[in-house]
């Protein structure tokens, strides 16, 4: 088991190191953006800006999805979400956590869901978007309780005409279906439903500072 874990750490290191180098290189080149460059050079830097952002997202996903740790366990929801937030700009988040609530399942898959939802908000709303993360326990009726996680942003929102498609395989925020992209929300739905027996829903209003709310409902770990 230790050998497997050690090998996984080596693989992660091999992935993260060149990603970090590439991100730093992009940042150095982007410092030239405001200088007196010709048209072609400016276009290259515009494309480089998109590449830099994409590399950052890839690094975030790698950080929350280590290789070789694919097991079910008991974990704290607040703790798992906080560890994902650490991979993003801290001033993007407003926390509304109560007492710690515990789930039983694949912690890394859960963190992947949270990371994808954060990424979706930042991608849609820009680097200055704020995200409110709330966790609470609610009575679902018939003596059943659910852990409810709400992730709300102040981004531009999702048009009602395509809101019903957001969890489809290949959905993109441009309202197009493409089998080669748009897997994030589809994966989120699959993990919450199949791995945790829960449900994920979305509400959104288009317009400045209206934003989008993703709500996850899952059963807490049974005590005793």
Domain-wise residue ranges, the chain: 2-64, 72-218
Q: What is the pLDDT of residue 35?
A: 67
Q: What is the pLDDT of residue 37?
A: 66
Q: What is the pLDDT of residue 159?
A: 85
For 166-185, write each residue's pLDDT tens digit: 888 777 654 443 333 345 78
Q: Which of 124, 186, 192 is nearest to 152 (CA)?
A: 124
Q: Which of 7-21, 97-111, 124-138, 173-187 has the lowest mean pLDDT?
A: 173-187
Please state, for a pLDDT cut of 70, what percent of the chain lies above it.
Answer: 65
List 203's β-bridge partners, or say none: 213
User: Is pLDDT at 111 greater than 70 in this prediction?
Assistant: yes
Q: pLDDT band for position 88 (50/70/90)?
A: confident
User: What class, spelled out in words, does domain 72-218 have in CATH?
Assistant: alpha beta
Q: Which of 21, 147, 120, 5 is nearest to 61 (CA)?
A: 120
The reply to whether the predicted model has a pTM over 0.75 is no
Q: Which of 213, 90, 98, 89 is nearest to 150 (CA)?
A: 213
Residue 204 neighbours by CB distance under 10 Å: 20
Q: What is the pLDDT of residue 217?
A: 95
Higher pLDDT, 3 or 199: 199
Measured distance CA(29)–CA(90) in Å, rounded: 25
Q: Which of 145-149, 153-157, 164-168, 169-173 has the lowest mean pLDDT?
A: 169-173
Q: What is the pLDDT of residue 196?
A: 94
Q: pLDDT band for position 156 (50/70/90)?
A: confident
Q: Which of 10, 111, 122 is nearest to 56 (CA)?
A: 122
Higher pLDDT, 158 or 184: 158
Higher pLDDT, 53 or 76: 76
């Amino acid at each position: 088991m230790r050998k497997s874990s050690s090998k996984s750490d080596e693989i992660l290191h091999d992935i993260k190191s060149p990603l970090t180098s590439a991100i730093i290189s992009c940042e150095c080149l982007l410092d030239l953006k405001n200088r007196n460059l010709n048209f072609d050079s400016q276009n290259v830097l515009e494309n480089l800006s998109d590449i830099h952002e994409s590399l950052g997202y890839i690094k975030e996903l790698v950080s929350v999805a280590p290789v070789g740790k694919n097991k079910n366990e008991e974990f704290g929801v607040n703790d798992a979400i906080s560890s994902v937030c650490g991979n993003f700009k801290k001033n993007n988040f407003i926390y509304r956590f109560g007492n710690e609530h515990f789930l039983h399942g694949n912690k890394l898959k859960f963190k992947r869901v949270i990371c994808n939802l954060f990424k979706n908000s930042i991608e849609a709303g820009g680097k200055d978007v704020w995200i409110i993360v709330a966790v609470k326990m609610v009575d679902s009726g018939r003596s059943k309780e659910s852990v409810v996680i709400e992730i709300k942003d102040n981004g531009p929102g999702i048009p009602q005409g395509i809101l019903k498609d957001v969890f489809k395989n290949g959905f993109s925020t441009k309202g197009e279906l493409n089998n080669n992209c748009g897997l994030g929300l589809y994966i989120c739905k699959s993990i919450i439903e199949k791995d945790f027996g829960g449900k994920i829903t979305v509400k959104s209003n288009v317009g400045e500072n209206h934003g989008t709310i993703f709500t996850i409902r899952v059963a807490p770990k049974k005590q005793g």
